[in-house]
Amino acid sequence: MAARRRPGGTPGSPNSKFTQQELPACKPILTPKWVISVFVLVGVIFVPIGLVSLKASRKVVEIVDRYDDACVPANTTDKLAYIQNPTISKNCRRTLKVPKDMDAPIFVYYQLDNFYQNHRRYVKSRSDAQLRDPKKANDTSTCDPEGTANGMAIVPCGLIAWSIFNDTYGFVRNSKNLPVDKKNISWKSDREHKFGRDVFPKNFQNGSLKGGKTLDPNKSLSEQEDLIVWMRTAALPTFRKLYGRIHTDLKKDDTITVTLENNYNTYSFSGKKKLVLSTSTWLGGKNDFLGLAYLTVGGLCFFLAFAFTLLYLIKPRKMGDNSYLSWNRNPAGR
SS3 assignment, position 250 = strand
pLDDT greater than 70 at residue 9: no
Note whether residue 6 is domain-resident.
no
Same domain, 198 and 82: yes
| Domain match, 108 and 248 both | yes
Q: What is the pLDDT of residue 55?
A: 95
Please state the pTM of the whole predicted model: 0.83
* 247-to-94, 119, 181 alpha-carbon distances in Å: 21, 36, 8
pLDDT digits (tens, 9 = 90+) for 206-223: 877 888 999 999 999 999
Nearest-angstrom CA–CA distance, 164 and 224: 11
Q: What is the C-alpha separation between 135 and 128, in angstroms, rounded? A: 12
The DSSP annotation for 104-161 comes to SPEEEEEEEES--TT-HHHHHS--HHHHH-GGGTT--TT-TTSSEETTEE-BS-SHHH
Is 254 among the domain residues?
yes
- Between CA 212 and CA 228 the distance in angstroms is 14
Please give the biggest Cα pair distance in the chain.
106
SS3 295: helix
Same-domain pairing of 177 and 274 = yes
Which helix (H) or strand (E) element contains residue 177?
Answer: strand 176-178
305 and 162 both lie in a single domain = no
Number of domains in the chain: 2
Task: Say yes or no: 201 and 74 in one domain.
Answer: yes
Please, are residues 155 and 149 in contact by the beta-carbon 8 Å criterion?
no
pLDDT at 332 over 80: no
- Give percent of the chain with pLDDT exceeding 90: 75
The residue out of 230, 252, 279 marking a domain boundary is: 279
| Least trusted range by pLDDT, from 39-48, 178-187, 203-212, 279-288 | 203-212
Q: How many angstroms separate the CA atoms of 62 and 255, rounded?
A: 14
Are 183 and 45 found together in one domain? no
> Residues 263, 137: contact at Cβ < 8 Å?
no
Yes or no: say if 284 and 44 are a contact pair by the CB < 8 Å rule.
Answer: no
**105/82 same-domain check:** yes
Together in a domain, 179 and 265: yes
* Torsion angles phi and psi, residue 315, rounded to 5: -130, 75
Based on the fold, state whether residues 189 and 214 are members of the same structural domain.
Answer: yes
Domain range holding 220?
61-279
- The CA-atom distances, in angstroms, between 9 and each of 3, 17, 171 are 13, 7, 79
